[in-house]
Amino acid sequence: MKLFRIVQFFVGVALLIGAWLWQPLSFFTAYLVSFVFWVGIPVGAVLLLCLDGLIDGDWLELFRPFLKRWAKVLPVFALLIIPVLFGIPWLFRWFSEREYLQPFQAWYLQTHFFVLRSILYVLLWTVCARVVSRRRSGRVSAVVLILLSLTVTLASADWLISLDPKWKSTAFGLIVLVGQSLTALSICLTEIFRSERFRRGLTQITEKTVRDASNVLLVHVLLWAYLFFMQYLIVWSGNIADEAHWYVVHGRGHWGAFAGFILLFKFFIPFMLLLFRTLKTRPAVLSIIASVILAAHWAENAWLVLPVFNMSMDMALPKLWVNAWVMLGMGFIIYSLVAGLPSPMARVIETEVSGE
């Protein structure tokens, strides 16, 4: 098993290097999409661990070991962010078009300051993960939750909003934060219900626990959709040129249909399925819903990044294999590290036995 993880790690590294050598320009945009997706999972895990310290629930007992395991991989993103920092001249328009920046933007969006902030985000998230994983306290969780909300908002402004310096949004950071929590919840559900121990019936996960987990997933889906729609509604009703231009760019051509695809698979389908009691208590169905949400969330990250580069859908489709290649490469690296940590299913069983 250890040999498999080592091979998986180096295959992931080879995929990333191969994508960079073959398509150097497309590589950086694809890498940013994948990085934002993967870093969101452990950050979302830390957010859910904060909720664990503030509220009680049977579903939290089920998720806690998986959330702690994902939170432990945050330090590796201090290394994985390096290609994003090297790609600043190709990714961020403010690097070369300084004359269009406002005075505050010109001060804030400086390369060295941007690099420093990006590294500090990951380091601070790592410290927060260690704190909430080791100590379950309401006060500590509240402080970490506030820090997490502020830093995720700033990070989303740096890594995503600053791709188009003319655009600004006060709700965008919260949308990203809820999306990260949703992906962390979804990936934990897929791991639990597709694990060998669960399929062999070695756990005693009750129907009530599965139903509670489904309801939490439904709440996350509704909250994400509400924030996503409210941001669009505010921009549409305000009709401010710079803000409306962002939606024009992201809805141009087939990108509008792509946004509809995201809404369909990240909101409408999960929402309709999770309304039915008979479906929400079936682990197999819940696992499929969670997998669909994960795929839709990756598509959302691609939709946030790619249209900014004046890339039409016709141009993006032939290069989607680069995005998939980079996505798999980074995923192999991360999963090789996650798989090396103790199995959380064993801790779930221990919790169930001690509870009896």
- Give the pLDDT of residue 196: 59
pLDDT in tens, 226-265: 999 998 888 888 777 777 888 888 888 788 889 999 999 9
- Give the pLDDT of residue 313: 58
Tell me which residue of 333, 276, 263, 289 sits closest to 186, measured CA to CA: 289
Work out the pLDDT band at 100, boundaries 50, 70, 90. Answer: confident
Q: Is 331 exposed, middle or buried (0-12, 13-18, 19+ CB in 10 A)?
A: middle
Residue type, 12: G
Work out the pLDDT band at 353, boundaries 50, 70, 90. Answer: very low
pLDDT at 167 over 70: yes
Average pLDDT over residues 170-186: 93
Alpha carbon distance 270, 262 (integer Å): 11
Q: Where do the domains of the chain lie?
A: 2-351
pLDDT in tens, 260-279: 999 999 999 999 999 988 88
Range name among 134-138, 151-155, 187-191, 281-285 with the lowest pLDDT average: 134-138
Tell me which residue of 50, 343, 44 sits closest to 217, measured CA to CA: 44
- Give the pLDDT of residue 127: 94
pLDDT at 354 over 50: no
Q: What is the pTM of this model?
A: 0.90
Alpha carbon distance 282, 136 (integer Å): 30
